[in-house]
A and B are shown apart, each in its own frame.
Chain A
Amino acid sequence: MFSYSPLIVLFPLLGFLFLGLAGWRLRSEKLIGIIGSGSVGLSFLVAIMIFVHMLGLPVDQRKQSVELFTWISTFTGTPSSISVSVAYQLDQLSILMTLIVTGVGFLIHVYSIGYMRGDKGFWRFFTYMNLFIFAMLNLVLADNFLLMFLGWEGVGLCSYLLIGFWYDRKFDTGGYEPGKATTSDAAKKAFIVNRIGDFGFLLAMLLIFIHFGSLSFDAVFGRAAVLTPGSSIMVWITLLLFLGATGKSAQIPLFVWLPDAMAGPTPVSALIHAATMVTAGVYMVARCSVLYALAPAAMQIVAVIGALTAIIAATIGLVQNDIKKVLAYSTISQLGYMFLGMGVAAFAAGIFHVLTHAFFKALLFLGSGAVIHALHDEQNIQKMGGLRKYLPTTYWTFVVGAIAIAGIPPFSGFFSKDEILWKTFSSDYGSIPLWFLGVFGAGLTAFYMFRLVSLTFEGEGRYGHDVHPHEAPRTMTIPLIILAFLSVVGGLVGIPESLLGGNAVEHWLGPVFDPAYEKLRLTPHGVEATEYVLMILSVGVAAAGIYGARVVYIRRTELAELWRRKYASLHKLLFNKYYVDEAYDKLVVSPTVKVSDGFLWKGIDVAVIDGAVNGSARLIAMVAQNIRRVQTGIAQQYATVFVGGILVILIWLMFK
Chain B
Amino acid sequence: MDLYIIVFYLFALITLASAAIVVISKNIVYSAFALLFTFFGVAGLYVLLMADFIAVTQLLIYVGGILVLLLFGVMLTTKVIRVDMRTATVRTFPAVVIVAALAGTLIGIFWSTDWPQSPASDGFERTIPQIGEMLLTSYLLPFEIASVVLLVALIGAAMIARRERKAL
Contact = CB atoms under 8 A, between A and B. Distances in A.
A–B direct contact (CB < 8 Å): yes
Interface stretch (A465-473, A506-514, A641-649): A641-649
Contacts of B95: 636, 640
A650 B90 contact: no
B101 to A, nearest CB: 6
A622 interface: yes
Contact of A614 (B94, B98, B99, B101): B94
A610 B106 contact: no
Contact of B99 (A610, A637, A643, A654): A643
Contacts of B99: 643
A651 interface: yes
Nearest to B108: A654
Interface in A582-624: 609-610, 613-614, 619, 622
A644 B91 contact: no
A613 B98 CA distance: 10
B93 A647 contact: no
A633 interface: yes
Contacts of A646: 102
Question: Which of B91, B93, B106 counts the most A-chain CB atoms under 10 A from its CB?
Answer: B91
B98 A622 contact: no
A28 to B, nearest CB: 53
Determine the main DSSP class of A at the interface with B: helix
A640 B90 contact: no
A654 B111 CA distance: 13
A216 to B, nearest CB: 49
Contact of B93 (A614, A643, A644): A614
Determine the main DSSP class of B at the interface with A: helix
A616 to B, nearest CB: 11
A650 B105 contact: yes
B97 interface: yes
B74 to A, nearest CB: 17
Contacts of A619: 91
Given A643-B99, A646-B102, A609 B109 contact: no
Interface string B88-127: 0011011101110110011001000000000000000000
Nearest to B105: A650
A613 to B, nearest CB: 4
Interface string A535-547: 0000000000000
Nearest to B89: A636
A647 B105 contact: yes
Given A613-B97, A643-B98, A636 B106 contact: no
B109 A654 contact: yes
Contact of B105 (A609, A622, A633, A654): A654
Given A640-B98, A643-B98, A650 B109 contact: yes
B110 to A, nearest CB: 12
Contacts of B97: 613
A633 B109 CA distance: 32
7 contacts: A610-B91, A613-B97, A636-B91, A640-B91, A640-B98, A646-B102, A647-B105
For the complex of A and B, list the 4 residue pairs with the smallest distance between their C-beta atoms, beginning with the closest.
A613-B94, A647-B102, A643-B98, A650-B105
Given A614-B93, A640-B91, 17 more contacts: A610-B94, A613-B97, A614-B94, A619-B91, A622-B90, A637-B91, A640-B95, A643-B99, A643-B102, A644-B98, A646-B102, A650-B105, A650-B106, A650-B109, A651-B105, A654-B105, A654-B109
